[in-house]
């Protein structure tokens, strides 16, 4: 079985540009999570969806960040405009019905110059 | 909001020595999960504890959930170089809060 798929794996962009990160959760999982990991702040939950509906976006740092889940097999995290302080590894994770175990994707390493 | 702290932040051990990381929550947890992240990798689920005072073992790893369900520990017996990585505890249902992590380095 394929695990959580994220693309791109690496992204280098310039300040002010729009960045879109993509995630395909494990088939059959109904919860999806976006995390950001940095040395300074550790692993932070940005937003999570249940059955494609955003449940809690209190971790989204500011209005420059937005996330969508148009269907059960796809989600995006968009940063517009990007800033150097957004540089981090962004993980997507999914979990199944009634389950707490989260399965993480390989992450997207974002560098904003 | 809920905070989950782990100590120590870093630990260097000689191969063969034991290792323990402690996890403390500011609030009572419904459950506790443990994850391992290898250098350059992503967090991988190890185990979940649900009951007060629960103890579970996975080979050389022993996991414990405190009686008050506000703390937990992970103990590794006789560390090996393959144990290198960062160990995270995580608490809560759905909106899981990850701990600050303990980075383990094993010196061969």
Tens of pLDDT, residue by residue over B91-107, are 877 678 889 999 999 99
Q: Which residues pair with A26 in a beta bridge?
A: none
Cα gap B43→A51, rounded to integer Å: 23
Average pLDDT over residues B1-9: 88
Q: Which chain A residues have a beta carbon less than 8 Å from that of B29?
A: none
Distance from CA of A92 to the nearest CA of B (A): 10
| The pLDDT of residue A1 | 64
- In 3D space, the residue among A95, A70, A72 whose CA is nearest the CA of residue A20 turns out to be A70
Size of interface A-B (CB pairs under 8 A): 45
| Per-residue pLDDT tens over the stretch A1-44 | 689 999 999 999 999 999 999 999 999 999 999 999 998 888 99
Average pLDDT over residues A89-108: 88
Distance from CA of A70 to the nearest CA of B (A): 20
Q: How many CB atoms lie under 10 A from the CB of residue B48?
A: 17
Closest chain B residue by Cα to residue A37? B42
What is the DSSP code (8-state) at residue A63? Answer: T
| The pLDDT of residue B36 | 98
| The pLDDT of residue A99 | 56
Q: How far is CA B11 from CA A74, B57, B85, B87, in A?
A: 38, 21, 10, 11
Distance from CA of B86 to the nearest CA of A (A): 11
Largest interatomic CA distance in chain A? 41
| The pLDDT of residue A98 | 55
Cα gap B26→B28, rounded to integer Å: 7
Distance from CA of A54 to the nearest CA of B (A): 12
Question: Is the Cα dihedral A24, A25, A28, A29 positive or negative?
Answer: negative
Q: What residues 54-73 of chain A have any CB closer than 8 A to a CB of chain B?
A: 55-56
Q: Cβ separation of B42 and A102 shorter than 8 Å?
A: no
Residues near A53 by Cβ (< 8 Å), separated by ≥ 6? A69
Contact criterion met (CB below 8 Å) for B90 and B98: yes
- Give the CA count within 13 Å in the CB-facing half-sphere of A98: 0
Identify the helix (H) or strand (E) that includes residue A113.
Answer: none
- Given B33, B44, B95, which is nearest A45 (Cβ)? B95
| Per-residue pLDDT tens over the stretch B44-94 | 999 999 999 999 999 999 999 999 999 999 999 999 999 999 999 998 776
Cα gap B65→B50, rounded to integer Å: 8
Does residue B41 have a pLDDT over 90? Answer: yes
Q: Which residue has the tokens 């959760």?
A: A25
B105: exposed, middle or buried (Cβ count in 10 Å: 0-12, 13-18, 19+): middle
Q: Which chain B residues have a beta carbon less than 8 Å from that of A33?
A: 96
């Amino acid at each position: 079985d394929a695990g959580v798929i994220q693309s791109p794996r690496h992204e280098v962009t310039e300040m002010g540009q729009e960045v879109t990160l993509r995630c395909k959760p494990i088939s059959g999982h109904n919860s999806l999570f976006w995390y950001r990991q940095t040395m300074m702040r550790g692993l932070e939950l940005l937003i999570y969806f249940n059955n494609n509906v955003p449940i809690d976006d209190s971790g989204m740092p500011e209005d420059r960040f937005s996330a969508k889940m148009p269907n059960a097999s796809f989600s995006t995290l968009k940063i517009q405009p990007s800033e150097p302080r957004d540089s981090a590894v962004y993980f997507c994770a999914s979990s199944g019905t009634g389950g707490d175990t989260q399965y993480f994707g390989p992450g997207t390493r974002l560098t904003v110059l | 909001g809920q905070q989950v702290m782990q100590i120590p932040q870093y630990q260097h051990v000689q191969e063969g020595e034991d290792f323990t990381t402690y996890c403390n929550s500011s609030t009572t947890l419904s459950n506790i999960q443990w994850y391992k992240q290898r250098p350059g990798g992503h967090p991988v689920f190890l185990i979940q504890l649900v009951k007060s005072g629960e103890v579970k073992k996975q080979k050389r790893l022993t996991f414990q959930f405190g009686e008050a369900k506000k703390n937990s520990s992970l103990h590794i017996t006789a560390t090996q170089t393959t144990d290198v990585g960062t160990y995270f505890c995580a608490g809560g249902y759905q909106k899981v809060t990850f701990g600050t992590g303990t980075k383990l380095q094993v010196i061969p």
